[in-house]
Structure 1
Amino acid sequence: MEQLVDTVIEDERWEAFGLPALATRAAEATFAHLGVHGVTLALMGCDDAEIAELNAQFRQKGTPTNVLSWPSEDRAAGEPGGLPDLSGGDDDDPDELGDIAIAWETCMAEAADQGKAPQDHVTHLIVHGILHLLGYDHIEDADAELMEATETRILAAMGLSDPYA
């Protein structure tokens, strides 16, 4: 099987932080919790300047953000609060879920502001991004409740506290 997460480091601070291992651990926990198999994704660790450009290009918001995701296909549920399509490929021919970008300065500032360990906060954001690739969203209240509850359960299984508490 291909590697689960193809991590691209655009900002060297992510390498020293251990982003590739953290991303793999987060992906393994997310997929195990949801029973998803036969998938891969790409994750780029960048800085605020790069994510601001991406945010402007894809969301018409020219400011930095913590994490962005680009699903390869629409897996969303047909109704608010419904489960998305969690089918995958197989281990010999995995489906590519899409891409995630995560920004160094914003993530570190948020962790400090919230009094969280940076590794825990980044793990949460990676799980959050993966759930977006899988069709979860938080625009409608019912979808937000489902997504947040799913994130909380995945993080708890990893030994991490509720990020929304």
Structure 2
Amino acid sequence: MIPDVIAPDLDVLFCGINPGLLSEAKGQHFARPGNRFWPALHLSGFTPRRLTPAEQDELLDHGLGITNLVARATAKADELTSAELTAGAVTLTELAEAQRPRFVAVVGITAYRTAFARRTAQVGPQPEPIAGSRLWLLPNPSGLNAHYQLPDLADVFRDLRLAVSRHQSAG
């Protein structure tokens, strides 16, 4: 099990689907070299430089954190059951209630749709909050996701960063 990178009152709590086998072995989120989470985070302006998975705790310095919907590691996310994803939505809601991030960003469209029973959800802000936090949907940054290349991922991550900035300015 990979420990969450979390603290109260974060700007964004990113929620991956579940750890891959390499992430589990290293104890680091998004550890596979082909995963584009870390480059997208930097290119979108969330971090001043590209962090590595080994530097994941530095996210807290930027008001960011990471958790997963499901703790069980698999080779591919499609090995998870609907029941696991649905249970993960409950756990994520409880975590958001306890930690109060301003935004929760679920990273994985299909997993989100299943976990939260929102079959037509699209990337971007979601109409319903999660335990008082704004809810945002991002594509899975895995290198296996051919629908989004790195520049596209950086763009949708940037949309979230800009929403966070607007929220900070308004608050």
Q: Which has the higher contact order (CA 8 A, sep 6+)?
A: 2
Q: TM-score by structure 1 length? A: 0.29
Larger CA Rg, structure 1 vs 2: 1
Using structure 2 for the length normalisation, give the TM-score: 0.29
- Hey, which of these two has a bigger chunk of helix by percent? 1
